[in-house]
Chains A and B, each alone.
Chain A
Amino acid sequence: MNEIWVLVTGSLVGITCGLTGVFLILRKMAMIADAISHTVLFGIVMAFIVTQTLNGVWMMIGAGIAGILTAYLVQVLQSNGLQEDASIGVVFTTLFAAGVLLITLFAGNVHLDVEHVLMGEIAFVPWNTWTFVGITMPKAVWMLLFVLLLNILFLVVFYKELKISTFDPVFAMSLGLPLVFLHYAFMTLVSFTTVAAFDSVGAVLVVAMLIVPASTGYLLSKSIKVMLISSMAVGIMSAIGGYYFAKLFDTSIAGMMATTAGLIFMLVFLFRPYEGLLVKKRKLTNIHEIVVK
């Protein structure tokens, strides 16, 4: 039974991150996601210091605020003359460091150690359950389901606005679309997704689950819908494959999930139809043979 919960949790991480990751990639914000995955730590610790509980709802709120703060500060530095990558670097390391300091100062004895935040521990997920409307499930599964639902809702309601503001923001602005709202709403969702995936895979590997499946989908797709589906599929495959590989080699589940995602990406990169490296190479060899003959 526990094994099933670990697989369910992993798959939910794959689906949720895969969904969010698609627009992160298309909006060229992969590095912002990296930043947010770290700065939510600051938000979580602040939530703990203020409420003195490790309640999931407060953690979400804290993380959401931290995510928006990160996106906002990066924007401020950038529009005042600093390059985007440097802005991200400054904001994310500073807030993350503040989070680490706050943990050691104020939250030393609680279950909120840095290693856990960075690496997560999906194997412990089944023991931390929560009962709601008579259903008892691991807390991580509840959180992931909630965030997945939010993500789907946001996507369904704002799909066309999200698409146009991603493809052509200048044109979207001329239509009077609420670009600023969309940006920060999306950043909030990225923060929520990060927190929900935290417990299982940790801050570092959640980035892998956000970026790698979506990038794989990008290589395979000619439309956003196909990209969404393939990204989620790669996410699930990475989670399930990662679990069994980890069992086989007796090693970190989260680490193996990210590694599996990386392997799938590599395979697709090399062997994808039409544009894969190997296909190109074979074509080149053929041309070479023709020329030599």
Chain B
Amino acid sequence: MNAIEVSQLTVAYENTTVLHDINLHVPVGKLTGIIGPNGAGKSTLIKAILNQLPNKTGKVEILGQALNPKNNLVGYVPQRNAVDWDFPTNALDVVLMGRFGHIGLFHRPSAKDREKALNCLKSVGMEEFANRSIGQLSGGQQQRVFLARALAQEAEVYFMDEPFVGVDAATERTIINILKQLKEKGKTVLVVHHDLQTVRDYFDWTVLLNKTIISSGPTNITFTEEKLQQTYGGKLFFMNEKNNKAVTERGSLSAIR
């Protein structure tokens, strides 16, 4: 059975097609990178799969069934800058929000939920910050809190929107280790990712996206120079320059090889 099965998915905003005819499957237990240039629709793809967009056609199945938040199969890490970090709450409270799908309406988080949330904070190395205001955390720490919240969801399939953007190297290592642990436990993880250099190390399944699926499959088959050029439409050199990486087009591609 596939963890994610998408067929003929199309998303349009005011006559502009953002995603076109997406057909995609990701097997259970794959750590998957979604790769593509800016504006390729990577975040949109995640939101469309999670049924957050009104202008969407097509079919999405998670573990063989239609998406239903009630069965708590899906965990989600939105982009970190999507929320106001000056919100008056602390790290543990944010992680506790990951339990809300299990707690249900009209109930309060129990002591057990708190314990689980605290354990999740522990596993991202943030237990000593449990009572810290989220506004006082660094970008990397905030990202860890978001990851801990997703862990608290105890889901089967995880969607993560750019978890590595703007974090320090230590946080990036912590996050990727946790994602690999999730994979070992048989969970499926989808990550919107930017850094082409790390794709080979991080992901065993890769989706190349630019408005539609360019290629999708095991990383060693999908992540090739030719398919990347096709995905980035010759913008590869430009992209590296923007990221301030001192690599030539040849250099960046040799890193890929």
Q: Is the CB of B108 within 8 A of A176?
A: no
Give the residue of A163, A174, A218, A226 whose beta carbon is less than 8 angstroms from that of B76: A174
Q: Which residues of B contact A78 (CB under 8 A)?
A: none
The reply to whether the CB of A171 lies closer than 8 angstroms to some CB of chain B is yes
Q: Within the complex, which residue of A167, A224, A227 is in contact with B83, where a contact is CB–CB below 8 Å? A: A167
- The answer on a CB contact under 8 Å between B70 and A164 is no
Query: A87–B50 Cα gap in the complex (Å)?
Result: 29
Return the CB mask of B92-103 against A: 1 if under 8 Å, else 0. Answer: 011001001101
Chain B residues whose CB sits within 8 angstroms of the CB of A177 once the complex forms: 100
| Chain A, interface SS category | helix
A52 to B109, CA, bound (A): 48
Which residues of B have CB within 8 Å of A170?
47, 52, 76, 78, 82
Binary per-residue interface labels of chain A (219-261) against chain B in the complex, 1 for a CB within 8 Å, 0 otherwise: 0011110110000000000000000000000000000000000
Q: Which residues of B are found within 8 Å of A176, using beta-carbon distances?
A: 68-70, 101
Q: What band does the interface of chain B fall in when counting residues whose beta carbon is under 8 Å from A?
A: 20 to 34
Interface residues on A, range: 20 to 34
Q: 8 Å CB contacts to A: which residues of B99-132? A: 100-101, 103, 105-106, 108-109
Contact A168 B82 (CB under 8 A): yes
B116 shortest CB reach to chain A, Å: 15
In the bound complex, residues from chain B placing their C-beta under 8 Å from that of A163 are: 89, 97
Known: A170-B82, A176-B69. A164 touches B52 (CB 8 A): no
Does B133 make an interface contact (CB < 8 A)?
Answer: yes
Q: Once the chains bind, are A175 and B69 in contact (CB under 8 Å)?
A: yes
Partner pick for A164 among B68, B78, B100, B106, CB 8 A cutoff: B100
Contacts beyond the supplied A174-B76, A175-B100, A176-B101: 13 A-B pairs with Cβ under 8 Å: A28-B84, A160-B100, A170-B82, A171-B76, A171-B78, A173-B50, A174-B69, A174-B74, A218-B88, A222-B133, A223-B88, A224-B88, A227-B88
B interface list, Cβ under 8 A from A: 47, 50, 52, 68-70, 74, 76, 78, 82-84, 87-90, 93-94, 97, 100-101, 103, 105-106, 108-109, 133, 149
